[in-house]
Chain A
Amino acid sequence: MSPCNHSSEIQNYSVRLVPVNQENQSLLFHWRNQQEIRQKMVEQQIITQIDHNRWFLSLAHNKAQHHFVIYYKDIAIGAINIRCKVDEVLTESKVAEVGLYIADAQYRGNIIAFAPSLAINDYAFEQLNIKQLKSKVRADNIAALKYNQQLGYDLSPEVEGYIPISLNVNNYHLKCKTIKQFFNRGNRRVDKTT
């Protein structure tokens, strides 16, 4: 059974964003409950298997969210999602929120961590016609704040322990032009050792 509410895989910047499906959904249950992932999230409680199953089945009818598993070189390294307000339809909304985590520690501190955000931001601005991405980050999550600044997000003053952040398409393209070029350069060198 594949309750995914959208069929499109996104492939760009050396990563594939594969819609959450029956085969990969258990990865999210495992990853999301890891302490090092949970402690960075807005919602930090442990998710039960029942709640996870209920959430997964709800995806088929949820027009406000698209969820993906991130693959780099055929390795599942994390998850990313884009969502609008619960009573809206993502494909018709002008404002959305992106959330992600890199579950594989090997890639968390690697520049590849920017690739899924670039891919989904392109998807948001170019295919969904989103005008602004807004979110909030825990004020003590310095790494996430810096990460989002490098994507072009503006940071607002702290509110109750969280930093509101926002990104418009112009700032995004301005800030990310160079890093996109590096990711899209490709591989031309022939490894003479093989």
Chain B
Amino acid sequence: MSIKLLKNAFITALEIPENEINDQLCYSQHQQWDSTGHMILIAEIENAFDIMLDTDDIIDMSSFLKAQEILGKYEISFN
């Protein structure tokens, strides 16, 4: 459930197809994931999981994989 929510957040924020979402998807290495896309993504993730991310976590969220690790600190499980 959580992984689907996270994928949907990426799909919506970055306007990319699901097949482009994998653990290697990284900020600045995909043309859609620039600073504007990143801010929209953060808002989508916060809305999807009803959380407010700390600045450090906003900065650290540099990949799809990293997003899962960070959300784990907010007690969101992807197992």
Contact = CB atoms under 8 A, between A and B. Distances in A.
A and B physically associate: yes
A179 interface: yes
Contact of B55 (A109, A110, A114, A183): A183
B54 A187 contact: yes
Contacts of A186: 54-55
A188 interface: yes
**Range of interface residues on chain A?**
20 to 34
B26 A109 contact: yes
A182 B58 contact: yes
B49 to A, nearest CB: 13
Interface string B10-50: 00000000000000001111000011101100100000000
Given A178-B39, A189-B73, A109 B29 contact: yes
Given A109-B28, A111-B35, 19 more contacts: A14-B55, A109-B62, A110-B28, A110-B59, A111-B27, A111-B38, A150-B34, A150-B36, A179-B39, A182-B39, A182-B42, A183-B55, A184-B55, A185-B52, A187-B54, A187-B56, A188-B54, A189-B54, A189-B57
Interface of B: 26-29, 34-36, 38-39, 42, 52-59, 62, 73-74
